[in-house]
C-alpha cells in the first residue's frame, strides 16, 4: 500500500479526490476494503442477510464504471453479496436501491458537484441516506488499522449485475 492512504478521509457525504492523483484504483480498493471490514464487523446492521448486501453504483464521470467494478470485486472477495448497477445511475436511485433491496449499504462512485477532474466514493447507510459521522469514523478507523497492519484489499472477480 502507498503512504498516501492515511490522507484518505471522509468529508461531507464521502471521500473525493483528483482522478489519477489520489483518486486511483489502488485507493478505491483500499477504501472499499475498509468499508467491507466495517460491514462485516458492524454490530449495527439493520438487515438479516447471512452476509452483508452492498449496492454499488456509479455516475457518468471518467472511469466511474471501472472504479465501481473494482469496488464491487473487493467487496465480493470479502464475502459480501454485491449488486452492481448495470449502467450509470444517479445517487438517489442508488439510495433507493438500498432501501428496496434491504441492503446494508451502498458505495456510489461520484464526485457530485466537484469539477470534472475529481471523482469520489459515497457510502450510503442501510436507511439509504448519507452515512453518519460515526459510521464514516469507523470506516476511517478500519483504513488506519489496515494501513498499520499491512492488510491488503481482497481480490475477486465474481460480481452480479
Question: Which residue of the set 9, 64, 87, 112 is catalytic?
Answer: 112
In the residue annotation, 112 being an active-site residue is answered as: yes
- In order of 84, 96, 137, 148, the CA distances from 68 in angstroms are 8, 18, 22, 26
Please classify residue 22 by burial: count the beta carbons closer than 10 Å to its beta carbon, then call 0-12 exposed, 13-18 middle and 19+ buried.
middle
DSSP 3-state percent helix, strand, coil across the chain (nearest 5):
40, 20, 40
Q: Which residues carry out catalysis? A: 112
Amino acid at each position: 500500500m502507498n503512504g498516501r492512504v492515511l490522507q484518505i478521509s471522509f468529508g461531507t457525504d464521502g471521500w473525493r479526490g483528483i482522478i489519477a492523483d489520489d483518486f486511483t484504483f489502488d485507493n478505491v480498493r483500499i477504501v472499499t476494503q475498509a468499508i467491507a471490514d466495517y460491514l462485516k464487523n458492524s454490530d449495527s446492521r439493520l438487515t438479516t442477510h447471512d452476509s452483508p448486501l452492498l449496492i454499488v453504483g456509479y455516475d457518468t464521470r471518467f472511469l466511474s464504471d471501472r472504479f465501481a467494478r473494482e469496488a464491487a470485486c473487493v467487496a465480493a472477495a470479502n464475502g459480501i453479496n454485491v449488486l452492481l448497477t448495470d449502467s450509470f445511475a444517479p445517487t438517489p436511485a442508488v439510495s433507493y436501491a438500498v432501501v428496496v433491496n434491504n441492503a446494508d449499504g451502498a458505495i456510489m462512485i461520484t464526485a457530485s458537484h466537484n469539477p470534472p477532474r475529481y471523482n469520489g466514493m459515497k457510502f450510503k447507510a442501510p436507511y439509504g441516506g448519507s452515512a453518519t459521522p460515526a459510521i464514516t469514523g469507523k470506516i476511517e478507523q478500519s483504513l488506519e488499522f489496515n494501513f498499520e497492519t499491512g492488510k491488503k484489499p481482497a481480490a475477486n472477480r465474481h460480481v452480479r449485475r
